Amino acid sequence: MPRERLVSPELISQEEETFNRSLRPPTLDEYVGQKKVVEKLSIALQAAKQRGESLEHVLFYGPPGLGKTTLAYIIANAMGSKITTTSGPALERTGDLMGILTNLGEGDIFFIDEIHRLPPNIEEFLYPAMEDYKVDFVVDKGMFAKTINIPLKKFTLVGATTRAGSLSAPLRNRFGLFYHLEFYDVEDLRRIIQRSARILSAPLDEAGATEIARRARGTPRIANRLLRRVRDYAEVKAKGEINTAVAGDALKLEGVDDHGLDDLDRSFLSTIIRIYHGGPVGVEAIAATLNEEVDTLVDMVEPYLLQQGFVSRTKSGRKANEPAYKLLNLPVPGGAPRPLFE
């Protein structure tokens, strides 16, 4: 069973999803960050509404926790449409998909999270639905088999994926709009945290919001999760008031340092430096040493460490960079590489 990490960009419980839903901005005007995406999506929505047409099929891709689901709900709200949500792994039989598609109304939004994990038979079933708004449903088997052509209302498929490269070319080519979501800067995260604090009626000053934002790893989902922990700490230890000191103490207690790293991140770096002398070392060896799954390290730990310049990927394996040695208060060897961007 994977460990629950406070700084994981993935959802850690259904309760958290319910909580996040209460914090989602309903319109693009209230959506913070992703300026290029918001501007292009706003134009596409306005144009579709002026023509009285359904929005083209949309694909959002990027790391988890950046707001792909939120944007799907904003699209539905902007178009005045109903939204039906599911995920790639949940669609196993064509009958399941058939029931969803035939119940979609004109202009409705069909949101598929983790769309790169759709089974091949479901993906092929989607092609005519996306392209021609019809599906061919086969009834009976063998010599008694009959194909029934069923027309569909014009709907908009919104797909979300963390691995755009894993989508098949035929599926990818059927989307008209592609939007890449990037990590947020501290200023945008601060604004998100302040908005969430207002909704939660949590007293929070600007410096406290910045302190939380600095440790949120560029991800709104993590920022809101940290805010919840800090709010709990403040209510018990600081009469509910959240400032820099309170936020710092709360997150230190949770094991989240000034860089937004937790125990697993630091163990990852420490293993490369102390056990494998700074690398290069294969991720399989690191996973075996830490007794963790390779996928956990590749998907949940490495991306942020790579982005921040703590480690580098080479053909020979992972190498620790100079900031990793400084983080762990270890002497920097002469040959330790610097990050490409500082």
Three-state secondary-structure class, residue 106:
coil
Model pLDDT, residue 135? 83
Give CA–CA dist 135/199, Å, rounded: 43
Model pLDDT, residue 46? 94
- Residues with active-site annotation: 68-69, 113, 162, 221
**Alpha carbon 335 to chain centroid distance?**
35
Model pLDDT, residue 30? 92
Query: Per-10-residue mean pLDDT for the chain, 342 residues long?
Result: 68 75 89 93 94 92 90 93 91 85 91 91 88 79 72 92 85 91 92 92 90 92 92 87 88 88 89 88 90 83 86 89 88 66 49
Domains of the chain, earliest start first: 34-180 (3.40.50.300), 186-253 (1.10.8.60), 263-327 (1.10.10.10)
| Start-end of H helices in 82-205 | 94-102, 120-132, 169-172, 186-200
User: Phi and psi at residue 84, in whole multiples of 5°?
Assistant: -115, 130
Model pLDDT, residue 2? 47
